[in-house]
A and B are shown apart, each in its own frame.
Chain A
Amino acid sequence: MPRTLTYREALREGLDEELERDENVVLMGEEVAQYNGAYKVTEGLWKKWGDKRIVDTPISEAGFIGMGVGASMLGVRPVMELMFWSFHSVAFDQLVNNAACVRYMSGGLIHCPIVVRGPANGGTNVGATHSHTPEGLFASFPGLKVCAPATPADAKGLIKAAIRDNDPVYVMENTLLYGNKGEVPDPEDGDHVVPLGRADIKREGSDISLIAHGRSVLHALAAAETLKEEHGINAEVLDLRSIRPLDVDAILATVRKTNRAVLVDESKPFGGVSAMVATLIQDHAFDDLDAPVKRVCTIDAPAIYSPLIENDQLPSPKRVVEKVLEIA
């Protein structure tokens, strides 16, 4: 029987199940243990699993992320929390040169089964330093895998797949989704794992494809309702879920079905995830298109602070509807 959990609880349940399944899984990060997590994702896990499995680190991202990479080479399965993915910049050498490249540079002798997770989103009035969405950035490095769940069920399923994967997987969550509720399969009905690389149609439609990931999926779904009710347009919403590996077949299938696509992406426009998706569509489904592929991205500037205007910088249902009406 499906139950309703918040996105935060679903992640926690996934972490808890993997801690149970594999004794080499260890959660590390700033405030993850005794403080119960800056965003309470890991709440209660330290009490349950103790000091060895749930580890508070100093504010030292280069040091502890690199430590996780090194430990993973030896067989530990570290799940590292970045309090914000925005802090990737101080650990970049470890996240890219070491985690992404060590397998390649060793000719395949080493692998690095690490998970790095945390929120990566704008919309919380914390300014440019805390509002980065680096999923496209990290997906551009071969050797890394990236996913961005939009729903509680996917959050649980993807974190479990990420932990079981033998390559480095960077899981991009969202502070604005942590409290969202959704149905999550009951553990008694079997292990709920969402494989990396498999997109999910969140809404069937026939007139246009809205392709999104993360919180943008929710904007796309809201826009689809408006399009149906006010304009008689039946939009399909494809949730990428995983950025790399990417479900290219699902992208092409929905475009071939609807012949139109609007990509909704909280990334900045230059080189974001949607730029890659647009390239794939024009490369492989050009003849199926009845209109140019369009995008709704974050307005191309560092994240503005002002609570009065920040939401207008980000994709929104309103902007998605407007964009769809340009081509449909």
Chain B
Amino acid sequence: MTDAASQKLDFSQSPVNRELTPERKIELYSQMVRIRRFEQVSLKYYQSGKIGGFLHLYIGQEAVAAGTVSLGGEHDHYITAYRDHGHALAVGMTMDECMAELFGKQTGCSKGKGGSMHFFAPDKNFWGGHGIVGGQTPLGLGLAYGLKFLDRKGCCLCYLGDGAVNQGAYHESLNIAALFDLPVIYVIENNGYSMGTSQKRSSAFRDCLAQRAEGYDMEWDVIDGSDLYEVRAKTQIAMDRARDESRPTILEIFTYRYYGHSIADANHKKYRTPEEIEDYKQNHDPINVFRRKLMEEGVLDEEEDKKITKAANQEAAAAVKFAEESPAPTIDDISTDVYWETDNRTEASEIGSHFFND
């Protein structure tokens, strides 16, 4: 790549972007602003002790989720790892249910049973939210298998980080995806660091991580994740390949996270220089880049921008209020959602003991 080549191309003129109405562009911009605001507010309440566990923020990577999900249709599915808030909001989950989940409340998207790393919305084709690095990659494969088996024309976008590319499950998935001609797209969100280890210290590769696709006779591409137009233009090609030819693709989207691997990652300012972080904010921040473009296009002005920011702030504040006022799960709730059969009180659930409590 292509950095140089990419800069020469104006992806705003790609067919899939030319067809965007001004309203839709504003929607996509708002989506990214909402994701960022949600994450900023999550951070605040994590630090004040209202949110438990780990918190992996998506700040800096917003164009990936917003851009790729914007291309989805009825039979396109999404699955990701633990940095999942951006994808959840992009598929249409509400800030209320997501924030309530972080707060561990009954009204959370997983009733407080999943937490930050485990958001799900199968009604929106979003299958999580998975905590084990690379563990979701065979599941994404399976969703694609299911689409093909059930004769549905669609694809599965399976997101993973650059740290996941060395997991065996991922490589097994790539082999099967190509071998079985499955409509899956592995989207490597490359933010440069697998936790605290830079890509150069964790992965053996020639030019880029996506290039490993060649070993599996699979198509691949690289994308500048700061440009929402480029994300959409190139992802569309992969999605068309999946839907029309039932062939998989690896996309590697270069992006950056402002914060540590998780908020528990106190060292993130040690393994990255302040200059590196500052350069990204100034020149590659997907929200800043898209805002500039929309203003140049005359689609967005300062006043509208302020309105969007204000609305996102209000939405996030309301979500916090909703989360705080929601009830906690009960002791009884611990034992539901374990088995489909017992939840649905089927005949099978009446036979034998399913639970073994003291």
Q: Using a CB–CB distance below 8 Å, which chain A residues touch chain B? A: 24, 26, 52, 57-58, 60, 62-76, 93-94, 97-98, 102-111, 113, 142-143, 145, 161, 165-167, 195-198, 242, 244-248, 276, 280, 283
Contact = CB atoms under 8 A, between A and B. Distances in A.
A62 B138 contact: yes
Contact of B351 (A62, A97, A111, A195): A195
9 contacts: A70-B127, A71-B149, A72-B146, A93-B169, A104-B338, A105-B128, A166-B340, A166-B341, A245-B354
B146 A75 contact: yes
A67 B180 CA distance: 11
Contacts of B122: 73, 106, 109-110
Nearest to B115: A105
B120 A70 contact: no
Contacts, number: 193
Interface range, B side: 35 or more
Contacts of B137: 66
Interface in B127-168: 127-132, 135, 137-147, 149-150, 168
Contact of B146 (A65, A74, A110, A276): A74
Interface in B308-358: 336-341, 343-344, 346, 348, 351-356, 358
B196 interface: no
Interface stretch (B12-20, B48-56, B170-178, B234-242): B170-178
Contacts of B120: 102, 105-107, 109-110
A67 B141 contact: yes
B355 A65 contact: no
Contacts of B112: 107
A108 B339 CA distance: 8
Nearest to A113: B340
In the A-B complex, list the 9 residue pairs whose CB atoms are closest, starting with the nearest.
Answer: A70-B142, A197-B352, A66-B138, A63-B172, A245-B352, A74-B146, A108-B337, A107-B111, A70-B139
Nearest to A243: B352
Contacts of A109: 110, 120-123
Interface in B261-281: none
Contacts of A197: 348, 351-354
A181 to B, nearest CB: 28
A94 B131 contact: no
B102 to A, nearest CB: 14
A136 to B, nearest CB: 12
Contacts of B179: 58
B114 interface: yes
Given A64-B176, A73-B127, A245-B351, A107 B138 contact: no
Contacts of A73: 122, 127, 139, 142-143, 146
A3 B283 CA distance: 77
Nearest to A144: B339
A134 B169 CA distance: 22
B338 A142 contact: yes
A142 B123 CA distance: 25
Contacts of B243: none
A98 B139 contact: yes
A59 to B, nearest CB: 9
Contacts of B127: 70, 73, 110
Contacts of B351: 195-198, 245, 247
B352 A68 contact: no
B87 interface: no
Contacts of B150: 24, 74-76
Contacts of A248: 352-353
Given A69-B139, A110-B122, A26 B169 contact: no
Contacts of B60: none
B76 to A, nearest CB: 12
A83 B23 CA distance: 55
B118 interface: yes
B108 interface: yes
B338 A26 contact: no
Contacts of B113: 104-107
Contacts of A247: 351-353
Nearest to A52: B149
Most buried by B among A63, A98, A109: A63
B228 to A, nearest CB: 28
Contact of A71 (B110, B131, B146, B343): B146
B63 interface: no
B209 interface: no
Contacts of B149: 24, 26, 52, 71, 76
B352 A198 contact: yes
Given A58-B175, A70-B145, A76-B149, A97 B348 contact: no
Contacts of B358: 283
B107 to A, nearest CB: 10
B213 to A, nearest CB: 16
A328 B138 CA distance: 53
Given A64-B138, A97-B132, A104-B337, 16 more contacts: A24-B150, A57-B176, A66-B142, A67-B173, A68-B142, A93-B169, A98-B139, A105-B128, A106-B118, A107-B109, A107-B111, A109-B120, A109-B121, A109-B122, A167-B339, A196-B352
B157 to A, nearest CB: 13
A106 B173 contact: no
A263 to B, nearest CB: 16
Given A68-B142, A98-B135, A245-B351, A103 B176 contact: no
A226 B128 CA distance: 56
Contacts of A62: 138, 168-169, 172
A71 B148 CA distance: 10
A62 B173 CA distance: 8
A63 B169 contact: yes
A67 B114 contact: no
Contact of B340 (A70, A93, A97, A167): A167
A206 B144 CA distance: 56
A276 B356 contact: yes
Contacts of B352: 195-198, 242, 244-248
A199 to B, nearest CB: 8
Nearest to B169: A62
B91 to A, nearest CB: 13
